């Protein structure tokens, strides 16, 4: 693997899960675009899979942001009935169909690896061919908020549960890997651990962060903006702020790398 982005023949991109914080991925993509850097292969989990799919589909930065602004998170007629989860994930199918009318991995402009969690077998599943929308919905089905998605008689949910930073699917397919991790688990206060739900969320967050952070360090270039901690995972008001944070970090990180390569 080469260590210079300017000499790389192929760039791989890995995008983590992290809800609304994933708008930072789009900011990174804008920074890459301005420096004429384009990934040839993409892997993502949860919101990273959604952003990765839009990127692999050739959507503009503006279209990507609009997709998340237009997609309702909590809408009364989306509430699940007779399904586990509060929101019926499959109600989003028509919205996704508007952005991915051909509903096919093969119709994307770039190879895409989407990770979801097989709830029945208790293992991760990577989707990379065939129907596109249902795997995307499954990968982003954050439990327990969103209901699992049924694909071939199996229930799938949030890819971040088993693999929040699926770098291994890019290894060997690119000679320079760029990673973006938005699942941050920094220091908190005692007041933030007052009940069992907060405790469970903290422990889960730490486990996901530990596995993601280790693989992130193996990338040739990466961003992991700590400022994203202040943005709620499901807070749509944070879309623009998360995007700006990702863009700023992407610009600084790539400019530093490119400057180092010139020395």
Q: Is 87 helix (H, G, I), strand (E, B) or coil?
A: strand
Is 180 in the active site? no
16, 46, 139, 183: which one is catalytic? 46
Tokens of 238: 């944070």
pLDDT at 145: 78
Is 10 in the active site? no
Q: Is 222 helix (H, G, I), strand (E, B) or coil?
A: strand
What domains can you pick out in the chain, each with its CATH number? 11-262 (3.40.1090.10)
CB-CB neighbours of 252 under 10 Å: 12
Geometric angle at alpha carbon 190, from 187 and 191, rounded to 5°: 115
Q: Residues near 69 by Cβ (< 8 Å), separated by ≥ 6?
A: 236, 239
pLDDT tens track for 28-65: 999 999 999 999 999 999 999 999 999 999 999 999 99
Judge whether residue 2 has pLDDT over 60: no
Indicate the average pLDDT of the chain: 88
Judge whether residue 262 has pLDDT over 90: no
pLDDT at 211: 76
Judge whether residue 195 has pLDDT over 60: yes
pLDDT at 254: 95
pLDDT at 201: 62
Instruction: Identify whether the C-beta of residue 263 lies closer than 8 Å to the C-beta of residue 40.
Output: no
How confident is residue 142, by pLDDT bands cut at 50, 70 and 90?
Answer: confident
Q: Residues near 247 by Cβ (< 8 Å), separated by ≥ 6?
A: 24, 27, 28, 30, 31
16, 45, 139, 158: which one is catalytic? 158
φ and ψ of 200, to 5 deg: -60, -40
Cis-peptide into 189, omega within 30 deg: no
pLDDT tens track for 208-234: 777 788 899 999 999 999 999 888 887
How confident is residue 9, by pLDDT bands cut at 50, 70 and 90?
Answer: confident
Tokens of 211: 């596995």
* % of the chain at pLDDT higher than 90: 64
**Range of lowest pLDDT (125-129, 157-161, 186-190):** 186-190
pLDDT tens track for 74-113: 444 444 445 655 566 777 888 899 999 999 999 999 999 9
pLDDT at 76: 40
């Amino acid at each position: 693997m080469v260590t210079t982005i300017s000499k790389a023949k192929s760039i791989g991109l890995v995008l983590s899960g992290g809800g609304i914080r994933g708008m930072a991925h789009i900011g990174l993509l804008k920074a890459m675009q301005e420096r004429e850097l384009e990934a040839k292969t993409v892997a993502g989990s949860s919101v990273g899979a959604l952003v990765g799919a839009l990127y692999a589909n050739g959507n503009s930065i503006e279209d990507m942001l609009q997709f998340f602004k237009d997609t309702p998170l909590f809408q009364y007629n989306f509430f699940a009935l007779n399904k586990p989860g509060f929101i019926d994930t499959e109600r989003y199918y028509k919205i996704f169909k508007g952005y991915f009318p051909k509903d096919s991995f093969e119709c994307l402009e770039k190879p895409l690896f989407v990770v979801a969690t097989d709830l029945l077998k208790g293992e991760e599943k990577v989707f990379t061919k065939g129907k596109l929308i249902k795997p995307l919905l499954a990968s982003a089905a954050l439990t327990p908020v969103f209901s699992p998605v049924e694909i071939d008689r199996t229930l799938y949910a949030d890819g971040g549960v088993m693999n929040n930073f699926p770098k291994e699917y890019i290894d060997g397919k690119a000679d320079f890997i760029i990673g973006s991790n938005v699942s941050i688990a920094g220091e908190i206060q005692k007041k933030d651990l007052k009940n069992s739900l907060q405790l469970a969320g903290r422990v889960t967050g730490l486990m996901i962060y530990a596995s993601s952070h280790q693989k992130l360090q193996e990338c040739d270039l990466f961003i992991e903006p700590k400022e994203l901690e202040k943005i709620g995972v499901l807070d749509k008001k944070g879309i623009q702020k998360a995007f700006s944070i990702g863009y700023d970090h992407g610009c600084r990180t790539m400019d530093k790398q490119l400057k180092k390569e010139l020395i």
